[in-house]
Amino acid sequence: MGSPPLDPLFQWLFSLSGPSLKWDIETAEAFCAWLGQPQRTFAAVHVAGTNGKGSVAAMVHAMAGRSGLRAGLLTSPHLVRPEERIRIGDEEITPRAFAALIEELKEQADRALAAGRLPRHPSFFEMVCAAAFVAFAREPVALAVLETGLGGRLDATNVVFPVVSVITTIARDHIKSLGGSIASIAREKAGIIKPGIPVLVGWIDGEAEAIVRRVALRRGAPFHAAREELTLIEGGDGSFEVRTPQQHYAGLTCALAGAHQRRNAALALRAAELARERGVAFCTRGLRDGLAEVRWPGRLERLGREPEFLLDAAHNAEGIGALAEYLRGRARPERRVLLFGLTAGRPPQEVFAPLAGLVDAVVLTRPRSPKALATEEIAAAIAPLCPQLDQRAEVGAAIAQARRVAGAGGQVLVTGSLYLVGDVRRELLDLEGPWRRPAEKVPPLGSLTDHVP
């Protein structure tokens, strides 16, 4: 089943990015200045990394909420609807409020361009970031947790001056945008480090860690490394312990499954501690409760029965490796079918290989993305590793085929692309995408500079 036509506002918003866009930080800085610097009205935790940054951001946000803080969360990309990217407290921004913000910002961008105050029109991501900053300023929130979109140095979120910066992992991904070496990727992600602001890095390899450490030293930023400051101890009952320089947290649980998420949890705990040292009112009970209750859709998410669907947004070799580690530690279902799709830049055989011995059949499909790889291209690369291979270009047909092959006692594993996970989630939960505008008139949200003292 195809998607209905996009609403004109969202069609315009999605049209703002493309391969010809030249990335810079100056446009985001200039647009925020035009709007009255909304990003300066709240404390921020800034999270970058190849993998795990969204999970860590969601955990820190949950900890803040359970500590009694009014907190905002900005993540990317979205799975189904763009307003998923912006949360205040436990709720996503409403579709009506998001549409109203984008309409206001569209008008403001036009005015700023006409006044010669912008180098170019803000991109899709820069518009969404600005919408989040304005929403957080108006609420107002005490803390915002901001996930970078791509890299760090030139990312639109990098206009903030946070209380702590976090770099979760560094691996080869987005090579065309960030460079082909670990060193070049590390330098881009280290671009979020600010003078005097502590930076926390996860379990990253020696070369990447050394580069980040050097950048921190040059900028006078206190450097904190997970391998030096964190001890993670697995419990036999699903619980775990974390030791930090400040505290021993015993009997922890995390609502997100997988050993990689417990590593993310340890990193989130330490990030919250560092933020607390700079005046953000996290409490120990809130840290525990936040981990136990955090929600992050599309990450080892189980939906439906007979067969069960297991959705995971892993989309590169490191992420697929973590997924494979999780699957090896669980009882295998009667029949596991992989529903698989990729976008350009992902080597099919490299991404698929860790799952080869863990699935009984594969159904290839094409995510709803202009960057999606054709099923024929993926099939040519992975066919030698597949016991049974089928192709259905349309996602709805692929879901139906995967159901048939798995059978009532089986499992359908959906992975390879965030876009694919979003597509399948939309179909299974009958969710609406950004196709229709809300019928009700949007109440006025006030001036874009209402947040300015």
* Nearest CA-CA partner of 142 in 163, 120, 118, 167: 163
Average pLDDT over residues 108-123: 98
- Percent of the chain residues past pLDDT 90, beyond the cut: 84
For residues 323 and 289, membership in a common domain is answered with no
The model's confidence at residue 434, banded by pLDDT at 50, 70 and 90, is low
Q: Whole-angstrom Cα distance, residue 113 to residue 76?
A: 26
Show the tokens assigned to 135.
């929403």
Please tell me whether residues 311 and 399 are part of one structural domain: yes
pLDDT in tens, 27-68: 999 999 999 999 999 999 999 999 999 999 999 999 999 999
Same domain, 40 and 151: yes
Say which CATH number the domain at 22 has: 3.40.1190.10
Q: How many angstroms separate the CA atoms of 38 and 305, rounded?
A: 45
Distance CA(230)–CA(214), nearest Å, equals 21
- Does 91 have pLDDT greater than 60? yes
Angle between helix 124-138 and helix 26-34 axes, rounded to 10 deg:
40
Q: Rounded to whole angstroms, how far apart are CA atoms 263 and 258?
A: 9
- Output 397 or 447, whichever has higher pLDDT: 397
Within a domain: residue 451? no
Per-residue confidence at 262, pLDDT binned at 50, 70, 90?
A: very high
Tell me, rounded to whole angstroms, the distance of Cα 338 from its chain centroid.
22
Q: Residue 88 — φ and ψ, nearest 5°?
A: -125, 120
If 0-12 CB within 10 Å is exposed, 13-18 middle and 19+ buried, where does residue 79 land? buried
Determine the pLDDT at residue 445.
39
Higher per-residue pLDDT: 172 or 260: 260
Tell whether the model's pLDDT for residue 176 goes beyond 70.
Answer: no
Q: Is residue 440 part of a domain?
A: no
Please say if the pLDDT value at position 449 is more than 80: no
Same-domain check for residues 252 and 314: no
pLDDT bucket at 451, cuts 50 / 70 / 90 = very low
Q: Which residue's entry shows tokens 């907190």? A: 71
Tell me the mean pLDDT in the region 97-105.
97
* pLDDT of the residue at 5: 55
Average pLDDT over residues 8-20: 86
- Rounded Cα distance between 313 and 107, Å, is 35
pLDDT cut 70: percent of the chain above it: 92
Residues 305 and 252 in one domain: no
| Gap between the Cα atoms of 448 and 80, Å rounded | 27
| Domain finish residue from 269, 293, 317 | 293
Q: Are 337 and 405 in contact (CB under 8 A)?
A: yes
Distance CA 344, CA 330 (A): 31
Q: For 207-239, how does the pLDDT look when each residue is reduced to its tens digit (9 = 90+)?
A: 999 999 999 999 999 999 999 999 999 987 889
Residues 202 and 251 grouped into a single domain: yes
Q: Could you tell me if 318 and 50 are in contact, meaning their C-beta atoms sit under 8 angstroms apart?
A: yes
Q: Among the listed ranges 8-22, 74-88, 135-149, which one has the minimum average pLDDT value?
A: 8-22
CA dist list (Å): 67 to 62, 249, 270: 9, 16, 15
442 in any annotated domain = no
| Confidence at residue 98, expressed as pLDDT on a 0 to 100 scale | 96
Domain that holds residue 243: 8-293
Q: 99 in a domain, yes or no?
A: yes
Mean pLDDT in residue range 411-439: 82
pLDDT at residue 398 is higher than 80: yes
Write out the two tokens for 156: 């639109």
Specify the length of the chain in residues.
Answer: 453
Asked if residue 346 belongs to a domain, the reply is: yes
Same domain for 242 and 375: no
C-alpha 428/C-alpha 422 separation (Å) is 10
Is pLDDT of 22 > 90? Answer: no
In a domain, 34, yes or no: yes
Q: How far is CA 261 from CA 119, 149, 244, 268, 344, in A?
A: 40, 20, 17, 10, 27
What is the model's pLDDT at position 209?
96
pLDDT class for 297, splitting at 50, 70, 90? Answer: very high
Q: What is the pLDDT of residue 238?
A: 86
Judge if 182 and 202 occupy the same domain. yes
Q: How far is CA 85 from CA 275, 303, 372, 420, in A?
A: 22, 21, 22, 17
* CA nearest neighbour of 49 among 121, 152, 160, 143: 152
CA–CA distance, 407 with 336 (Å, rounded to integer): 9
| Residues 286, 306 within the same domain | no
- What does 415-428 look like in DSSP terms, one character per residue? ES-HHHHHHHHHHH
pLDDT of residue 256: 97
* pLDDT for the residue numbered 177: 53
The verdict on residue 136 lying in a domain is: yes
What pLDDT does residue 237 have?
83
Over residues 158-171, mean pLDDT:
97
Q: In this model, does residue 6 exceed pLDDT 90? A: no
Compute the Cα dihedral for 319, 320, 324, 326 and give only its sign.
Answer: positive
248, 389: one domain? no
| Interatomic CA distance for residues 26 and 29, integer angstroms | 5
Find out whether 425 and 79 touch, Cβ atoms under 8 Å. Answer: yes
Does 24 share its domain with 53? yes
pLDDT at 436: 43
User: With 80 as the cut, is the pLDDT of residue 439 above it?
Assistant: no
The per-residue pLDDT of the chain, averaged, comes to 92
Domain count, the chain: 2
Q: CB neighbours of 178 closer than 8 A, spacing ≥ 6?
A: 150, 151, 184, 185, 188
Do residues 390 and 312 share a domain? yes
Among 214, 215, 211, 249, smallest CA distance to 230 is for: 249
Cis upstream peptide for 77 (omega within 30°): yes
Confidence of residue 181 (pLDDT cuts 50, 70, 90): confident
Which CATH number belongs to the domain containing residue 382 in this structure? 3.90.190.20
- Residue 433 is predicted with a pLDDT of 61
Residue 268 lies in a domain: yes
Which amino acid is residue 255, in one-letter code?
A
User: What pLDDT, in 10s, does the model give residues 185-215?
Assistant: 999 999 999 999 999 999 998 899 999 999 9
Is residue 447 over pLDDT 60? no
